[in-house]
Amino acid sequence: MELVEAAVEYSKIGWSVIPIRALDDPHPDDPDNDKRPYVKWKKHQGARADEAQIRAWWKKWPKARVGIVTGKISNIVAIDFDGPGTREKFEAQICELPDTIMQNTGRIDGGFHALFVHPGGKHNLRPVVGDDHGVDGIDVRADGAYIVVAPSPHKSGRIYTWGKIDPIEHGLDDLLDLPQEVLDFCNRPSKFHAPKKVTEDTYDPDQPRNKPGWVNDLLWGVREGQRNHSCAKLAGYYLRFFGGDVDNTTMALEGWNTRNDPPLNRKEIQKVVDSIKSREGVTNFSTIVGSEIDYVEILKYPDGDVKYNLYVAGLDNHIQLTPEELVHPRKFRVKFMILTKRVLKPIKEDVWFNMVEGALKDAPELVMSEDETNIAIIKRLILMDISKGEHVKPEAHLENIAVIYRERVHLYINTIAKQLLVERVKFNSAKELGATLRGIGFKNGMARFPTKMCRTWHIDLDKFERSCALDELVPEELSNSGQEVEQDTDSQQHP
């Protein structure tokens, strides 16, 4: 296939194409860089070139190699393995490499790209140079990066070639999700940008110890879903460090907050500091359970659910309680024993109720965003599947979490339940998972597909897009596929 035709075909599957300089036409100001684009490519991180633009580029530069902008715009992340032994190093230090779409890069000593689905949502996955993270020879090309793809020539004299799966010929059904271990690797701090080491034993060696180095770990900043908990832990640390000084504690936390993704609201930080400072109810609660309680927090979720987190001094983990488990002393004792390996003596209910009420009086109330619930994880998993567009025969893709068919999203609950276990999200029953799906807007029923009837959970595509906050969560490819479905199915009826 000619370079220009390949470039057009890559564009058709949703990838953002750019022209890379020909090997015999290096940039005069940068002759050693053999992969420099002919064009200013930054704008193509946010908008894909159309077929007319692509053909115009290759008419001007017929020998231009094909480049693909990685990241959200193309919905891909590429891991670049340079040289022999890099795969073994990756699997030893990060995780086993899944059998996803791969291409040989043409290096004489061996080299290949492994492609994965971009995690999407609010993830802005910066490129990672493995050397900076202690894994040399392995780089991650994500948002703000690009790769060269087949059938472009390599400076070795070979050409880039796809492995057993050619995206143009076979599509993207075999493009796997980015493993969580790789996402963690990308978010790992660079060894060249480490903040000043702070240890929790520099101010009070008699304080109960959390996991060694926990303060330094949190000072890197945390992601959404971990911010409030981390803020509360650091608030207690800094209040002890500054002798109870609220102003200095707040200033220290505001500095830490700039490294969070995204930062907390400043009012939320002050609220956490004030609640940690006021500890009379928690002190009394500590006395009755016989262990020092750092604090109790109230979590209020968008679906109306309420839970309580109880943090015990000296332990890195915490107890999460339902309202029923908190107010019944016998149920609390079981949860407490699992965490602390201590068995509490029976507690009179009237005494228990008074202590719980006192502890909750000054407990911080945290209004959890949707991204800090299981709802966001479910939506992310669905989005990754349906971003591939509509399936003509969805019944042939029962291994998918979800598919688009006739302007509806159809969800296979058994498949998503298995994937949620991989994501370490556990529902106690199918009924509980079903209740969450109904909260998103899904309905359970039989769907008529081309060759068979299947039971699915389904929702209109446009309704699901709106529920995902279109501007932030839905990839451009999904919006496009929704438009295509509308054009193709005006005369069709829903199943």
Q: 409: which 2 tokens? A: 């999203």
Distance CA 136, CA 139 (A): 8
Q: What does the block give as tokens for 99?
A: 């059998």
CB-count burial class (<10 Å; 0-12, 13-18, 19+) for 472: exposed
Same domain, 76 and 175: yes
Q: Is residue 91 part of a domain?
A: yes
**Residues 130/137, Cβ–Cβ less than 8 Å:** yes
Claim to verify: residue 205 and residue 222 sit in the same structural domain? yes
Q: What are the beta bridge partners of residue 307?
A: 299
Is residue 495 assigned to a domain? Answer: no
Q: What's the confidence (pLDDT) of residue 338?
A: 81
Question: 3-class SS at 68?
Answer: strand
Structural domain count, the chain: 4
Q: Which long-range contacts (CB under 8 A, 24 or more apart) does 127-130 make?
A: 128/185, 128/186
Q: Phi, psi (5° rounding) for residue 419?
A: -70, -35
Predicted pLDDT of residue 199:
34
Residue given tokens 């490129």 in the structure block: 127
Question: Which of 311, 343, 364 lies at the terminal end of a domain, its last residue?
Answer: 364
Q: Verify that 60 and 159 share a domain, yes or no.
A: yes
* CA distance linking residue 262 with residue 372, whole number of Å: 12
Q: Is residue 493 part of a domain?
A: no
Closest CA to 230 of 309, 341, 123: 309
Q: What local confidence, expressed as pLDDT, does residue 206 receive?
A: 33
- Rounded CA gap, 488 and 392, in Å? 11
Question: Judging by DSSP bridges, how do beta strands 402-405 and 408-411 pair with one another?
Answer: antiparallel
Same domain, 265 and 396: no
Using DSSP, state whether 14 is helix, strand or coil.
coil
pTM over 0.75: no
Q: How far is the C-alpha of 104 from the C-alpha of 82, rounded, in Å?
A: 10
Q: Are residues 305 and 389 in the same domain?
A: no
User: Is there a single domain that holds both residue 122 and residue 89?
Assistant: yes
Question: Do 285 and 273 reside in the same domain of the chain?
Answer: no
Strand 111-117 and strand 176-177: the pairing is parallel
Q: Are residues 252 and 293 in the same domain?
A: no
Same domain, 425 and 360: no
Instruction: Mark which of 344, 364, 384 sits at the end of a domain.
Output: 364
419: tokens are 């994937």
Exposed/middle/buried for residue 168 (C-beta within 10 Å: 0-12, 13-18, 19+): middle
* Residues 466, 433 share a domain: yes
What letter represents residue 31's amino acid?
A: P
Cα first-last separation, the chain: 40
Among 324, 339, 364, give the residue marking a domain's end.
Answer: 364
**CATH number of the domain that residue 160 is part of:** 3.30.2250
Q: Are residues 287 and 244 in the same domain?
A: no
- The distance of Cα 249 from the centroid of its chain, to the nearest Å, equals 30
Residue 494 CB coordination number (10 Å)? 12
Residue 143 to residue 6: CA distance in whole angstroms: 23
Residue in 313, 306, 139 with CA at minimum distance from that of residue 232: 313
Cα dist. 162→7, 112, 235, 449, 491 in Å? 14, 9, 52, 33, 39
Domain that holds residue 424: 373-488
DSSP 428: S
pLDDT at 368: 63
In contact, 223 and 186? CB cutoff 8 Å: no
Q: What is the pLDDT along the chain (495 residues), one digit of tens a residue?
A: 899 999 999 999 999 999 999 998 888 776 777 888 999 888 888 889 999 999 999 999 999 999 999 988 999 999 999 878 888 888 888 888 888 999 999 888 888 999 999 987 656 677 777 665 567 788 888 888 899 999 999 988 899 999 989 999 988 988 998 888 888 787 765 443 333 333 333 323 333 335 556 777 788 888 776 787 788 888 877 876 775 678 888 888 988 888 888 888 888 888 888 777 666 566 667 777 777 777 787 877 666 778 888 877 766 567 788 888 888 888 888 888 887 788 888 877 877 887 788 778 767 777 665 445 677 778 878 887 777 677 788 777 777 888 888 888 998 888 888 877 766 666 767 777 888 888 788 898 888 888 888 888 999 988 887 777 533 433 333 334 333 333 333 333 333
494 within some domain: no
